[in-house]
Structure 1
Amino acid sequence: MRQQEQAPDTSRAPSPGGRAMPTVREITVALLRELGMTTVFGNPGSTELPMFRDFPADFRYVMGLQESVVLGMADGFAQGTGHAALVNLHSSAGVGHALGNLFTARKNQTPLVVTAGQQARAILPFEPFLFAERATEFPQPFVKWACEPARAQDVPAAIARAYHVAMEPPCGPTFVSIPIDDWDQPGEPFAARQVFAARAGDADALAACAAELDRAARPALVVGAGVARDGAWDAVIALAERHQAPVWVAPMAARCSFPENHPLFAGFLTAGREAIVASLAAHDVVLALGGPMNLYHVDGQGPHITPDTRVWLIGDNPVHAAWAPVGTAIVADTRLALGQLLDRSRPPARPAPPPRTRVAVPEQGALTDRLVLQRLAALRPPESVIVEEAPSARGPMHDHLPIVARDTFYTTASGGLGHGLPAAVGMALARPGDKVIAVLGDGSAMYAIQGLHAAAQLGVAVSFVILKNRRYEALHSFGRLFGMQTLVGTQFPELDFCALAQGHGVAARAAQDLPTLDAALAWSLAAAGPTLVEAEVA
């Protein structure tokens, strides 16, 4: 019987010149350091462990107890830093757990480089335990680019390409599947390249847009999340003031792009065709910036805009431009495009529009989501960061929790649940000098409750405020829309969020009335570490 030959150890194979070649892991660590991706969000399994052999002291590993939590934390961190975050998941099983928040990251246009382990190349033909079948297809269509390198030596180049693609507007997640035995293979050093791209928009189209705004009798602006992503907060304020144009927020916008206490702030567009038409009917020219204006959540009939209203759209996402049902679209960085509009705009003097009235809530009686949000607005520092996932309270939040400072509001652009709680943890890691407040529904919180453990381990200054209405209230609202008075399986009165928080190492207090609410919020907002307030609302 022929004796099996032992494979040579190539982990430190000599180069043609006789010197020891670095391993793929060493090359990749140097590349990640050069790219500024030294924080790794993960939940590793067996196929990922060799990536972390001799983990460098200047890197930070952020552990999540479930992969969707990992992805959510990375999303919050990337949005907070404005830079691609690195995620490490476990084969197909871990990627599957993370898909909901991967979908949200795609809709948020968050730059992420997601890696996942693969079984050793030599045993892939035998469908080994925990291997990833069709690894690059599985995360589609929620990633911009996916790759499993043909050779171990191609891993650093794949990660570099994944980084550049993730950071190219419209930003989004990318994916690299890496076999377990690639990390110890020898390879050639790989240096990161710099890639610069300016997207100022078509000059002639922007000149035509500026001229149309100048000629308008009743112009209006609609701002989406891309205004915040592109850093165009000041430019939007300047353009609105120059034209005395009311400013609406696009339906389901995941960022705040205009101060909600500004005299020109007009309110929030509803994600329905007829509602959008009614809100904008008084305007002859509408300029939509940084996101889709005609985003619908329910079916509708009739026109998408009145025949007398002309629409211009400016944003960095060509997909939004392609499916927009009305308007002339310019694909561009919003801040750069607004700079050109401001340079060209010479409008006539216009009267200021009437101010928007706010709805008051009496500070008495049982707690409601409106009262909780009003008290939070009164007690929080204006520059504190709100990360929200309370779908049934979005309307009350618009009325009673105004966002008045740039880069202080984040929510899920996808509508998927389980993003807000871990995203708040990632945001606090990215912005350690800011108080982060996670406003969460009780149903939403349960999708990612394990994120409390990461908050406790990291000691981040997050105030988790749970609006406890003991059911999926958003579904009950839609049930009434569909004529359904009874919904199955949507009640959960037994949940105790103070006990859940304390079980994960987070201090917590419950509030049942106004005095206990104010005391609990003041305590939480003053804390240096993570805390949770359970507000029982009617």
Structure 2
Amino acid sequence: MGQRPALAVLDILRDEGVDRIFGNPGTTELPFLAALAQAEDAPAYVLGVHEGSVVAMADGYARATRRPAFVSLHIAAGLANGLIGLLNARRSRTPLVVTAGQQDRRHLQQDPMLSGDLIGLAASAVKATYDIQHARDLPLALRRAFALAQRPPAGPVFLSIPMDLLQEDTELEVPPRTPAPPLGPAPGIERAAVLLGSAARPAIVAGDGVAREDALGALVRTAETCGAVVHHQPMADALDFPTTHPLYAGMLPPRHDAVRAALAPYDTVLIAGAHAFTPHHYTPGPALPPGLTVLQLDSDPDEIGRNFPAETGLVGALAPSLHRLADLLRDRVPEHTAKARILRAGEHHATERERAESAARAAYSPAPLAPWAAAHAVASGLPRDAVVVEEAITVGLLLRRHVRLERPGSYTHTVGGGLGWGIGAAVGRSLAEPDRPVVAVLGDGCTLFGLQGLWSAARQNTPVLFVVMNNGVYRTLQDTYKAMGVEGTCPGTELGPLDFTQAARFFGVEAVRAESADHLRELVAGASDLTGPLLVDVPLRE
């Protein structure tokens, strides 16, 4: 039996596993809201008071649930406000299905208020767009959107739906869902095993595809079988390898010269699920040192050889491919060789970690805190099963050196770089995993960009600990300005004194100021006992 257009949309959402709709509605969404109100088992509507927060919440939710989240935006203005989140989602490969209501087609040629070129606005920020002009096309396009959002490389897909189309008096057939066949192990694993197994100094770069495809355990097994040192990809969005593991060598810096130097000691590297070493600051020369044998594994065929040549390119699902590689390596690398490599790496990395931790502990003081002391206090206070949502820019780099995380899904960042993501992403993460403490570590500039997300945190009563690193400046810009060799103060980078406890209370969120590094560590340790959101304002010094 057919369904009216708006009801057909709800039918597909339920069938695709959507249990929450993230949105900020306007007049063009009223037909959809009317259908939502009439349906008995409709998804819950999660309201955000700014579209940037709406998309960020959906981003955090999708990453935790491992399925596409659904976003409803309002016409051209709402879509424009949400673009920053869509750019982040595309860079981070977060599967989202995003709709915006277009103005009524019967007067669209008259340039009515709030109308605009929705497809043109969205096109550069999403994987694909659908401009729905006929009700009969809506169900099929929506099915395609959910499939495409998940297909490697995952990302947001956008649909423009005119307001009057949802009100049409027509019956639509809803096509059944077609499950996508799972990818298997990559062909050519045998060749990769020969190259990696014969390496004298093997290394692995763990990309964010490892976390997205739940392949962390498989990567650990591969690394241990050959004793390969493991680096996170530059500005990793997730926990792709346990930071407690003796083979863990830290994150590669986001500059080609630094990546080249970090990988110079190795003769062979396996790059698994990493997006082409996207740099932040330009430096001349390639990312990889000369003479390095490169093996590249990814579920997205476009990644193979994209920015650097590979001796062997492997396309397949990461987890089964890595398990197969580990099986083959067991016959090629003697167990005593692998264990000796693990022991040497563990001793070296433990010495480096202890040096960094000693320096951070020595900097403990009353507020304002040294940035490295604040980062260490957060890392050492984290509850065992915590999720870290990090958008702290400079302090975030320090935090990565100190966190000791093992459980998949324990670290979330966005390589997209669009500020204001962290608060909303933490709310979405908490909605998806209410039994895990969520600690959002935020820069003050990032917090200002996404402050409206605190409204949703209060209304949803999500037990998130928001830790705001408050130095009153755009520190990363000032540091880069100095590195450029320019004398004087960089204009436009001073935020001045900010009291985030007042901002939090305005939105209905309890707040406290950290009085010392020990106090900050205690507050973070208490994240698992929260029954609602709490913001911690952390004053920082140079």
Q: Which residue of 2 aligns with 1:65?
A: 49
CA distance in 1, matches of 2:496, 2:528: 27
The question of 1:280 aligning with 2:263 is answered yes
Cα drift, residue 454 of structure 1: 0.2
- Which among 192, 200, 211 is matched to residue 217 of structure 1? 200
Aligned CA distance change for structure 1 residues 473 and 340 (closer, same or farther; 3 Å) = same
Amino acid at match of 2:141: A
Contact 1:524–1:533, Cα closer than 8 Å, also in 2:
no
Q: Which residue of 1 aligns with 2:394?
A: 392
Aligned CA distance change for structure 1 residues 57 and 508 (closer, same or farther; 3 Å) = farther
Amino acid at match of 2:154: C
SS, match of residue 424 in structure 2: helix
SS, match of residue 224 in structure 2: helix
Deviates more, 1:522-531 or 1:279-288: 522-531
Contact 2:221–2:323, Cα closer than 8 Å, also in 1:
no
Contact 2:439–2:524, Cα closer than 8 Å, also in 1:
no
Deviations 1:240-287 (A, max 9, x none): 111011111111111111111111111111111221121111111100
Aligned CA distance change for structure 1 residues 515 and 381 (closer, same or farther; 3 Å) = closer
Deviations 1:178-220 (A, max 9, x none): 11011122122313322323333542x2211111111111111
Q: Which residue of 2 aligns with 1:116?
A: 100
Contact 2:276–2:303, Cα closer than 8 Å, also in 1:
no
Cα drift, residue 447 of structure 1: 0.6
Deviations 1:150-178 (A, max 9, x none): 31232222211111111112111001101
The question of 1:246 aligning with 2:229 is answered yes
CA distance in 2, matches of 1:505, 1:91: 29
Q: Choose between structure 1 and 2: higher helix proportion.
A: 2
Cα drift, residue 460 of structure 1: 0.8
Q: Which residue of 2 aligns with 1:196?
A: 180
Aligned CA distance change for structure 1 residues 468 and 168 (closer, same or farther; 3 Å) = same
- Which among 290, 307, 310 is matched to residue 273 of structure 2? 290
SS, match of residue 274 in structure 1: helix
Aligned CA distance change for structure 1 residues 342 and 401 (closer, same or farther; 3 Å) = closer
Cα drift, residue 519 of structure 1: 4.7
How many pairs align? 517
- Which among 395, 400, 403 is matched to residue 401 of structure 1? 403
Amino acid at match of 2:499: D
Q: Which residue of 2 aligns with 1:3?
A: none
Contact 1:248–1:265, Cα closer than 8 Å, also in 2:
yes
Amino acid at match of 1:402: R
Q: Which residue of 2 aligns with 1:534?
A: 537
| TM alignment of 1:502-513, pairs within 5 A | 502-513=505-516
CA distance in 1, matches of 2:186, 2:403: 38
Q: Which residue of 2 aligns with 1:305?
A: 288
The question of 1:490 aligning with 2:485 is answered no
Q: Which residue of 1 aligns with 2:149?
A: 166
SS, match of residue 188 in structure 1: coil
- Which among 40, 43, 47 is matched to residue 28 of structure 2? 47
Deviates more, 1:225-234 or 1:136-145: 136-145
The question of 1:458 aligning with 2:454 is answered no
Q: Which residue of 2 aligns with 1:89?
A: 73
CA distance in 2, matches of 1:290, 1:139: 27
Aligned CA distance change for structure 1 residues 91 and 435 (closer, same or farther; 3 Å) = same
Amino acid at match of 1:25: A
CA distance in 1, matches of 2:305, 2:479: 32
Deviations 1:4-55 (A, max 9, x none): xxxxxxxxxxxxxxx9x63111222112111111310000111111111042
Deviates more, 1:457-466 or 1:361-370: 361-370
Amino acid at match of 2:73: L
SS, match of residue 59 in structure 2: helix
Amino acid at match of 1:159: L
Contact 1:521–1:533, Cα closer than 8 Å, also in 2:
no
CA distance in 1, matches of 2:522, 2:496: 24
Contact 2:268–2:294, Cα closer than 8 Å, also in 1:
yes
- Which among 315, 328, 345 is matched to residue 354 of structure 1? 345
Structure 1 outlier segments of 4+, above 6 Å: none
Amino acid at match of 1:517: L
Contact 2:436–2:528, Cα closer than 8 Å, also in 1:
no
| TM alignment of 1:365-376, pairs within 5 A | 365-366=365-366, 367-376=369-378
Q: Which residue of 1 aligns with 2:16?
A: 35
Q: Which residue of 1 aligns with 2:216?
A: 233
Q: Which residue of 2 aligns with 1:418?
A: 420
Contact 1:201–1:337, Cα closer than 8 Å, also in 2:
yes
Amino acid at match of 1:488: P
Amino acid at match of 1:499: Q
Q: Which residue of 2 aligns with 1:7?
A: none
Q: Which residue of 1 aligns with 2:241?
A: 258
CA distance in 2, matches of 1:44, 1:154: 23
5+ residue gaps, structure 2: none
Amino acid at match of 2:70: L
CA distance in 1, matches of 2:259, 2:455: 42
CA distance in 2, matches of 1:534, 1:444: 13
How high is the TM-score relative to the length of structure 2? 0.92
Cα drift, residue 142 of structure 1: 1.9
SS, match of residue 98 in structure 2: strand
CA distance in 2, matches of 1:321, 1:93: 38
Contact 1:222–1:293, Cα closer than 8 Å, also in 2:
no
Q: Which residue of 2 aligns with 1:330?
A: 314
Amino acid at match of 2:98: V
- The structure number with the bigger radius of gyration is 1
Cα drift, residue 433 of structure 1: 0.9
CA distance in 1, matches of 2:505, 2:81: 25
Q: Which residue of 2 aligns with 1:364?
A: 364
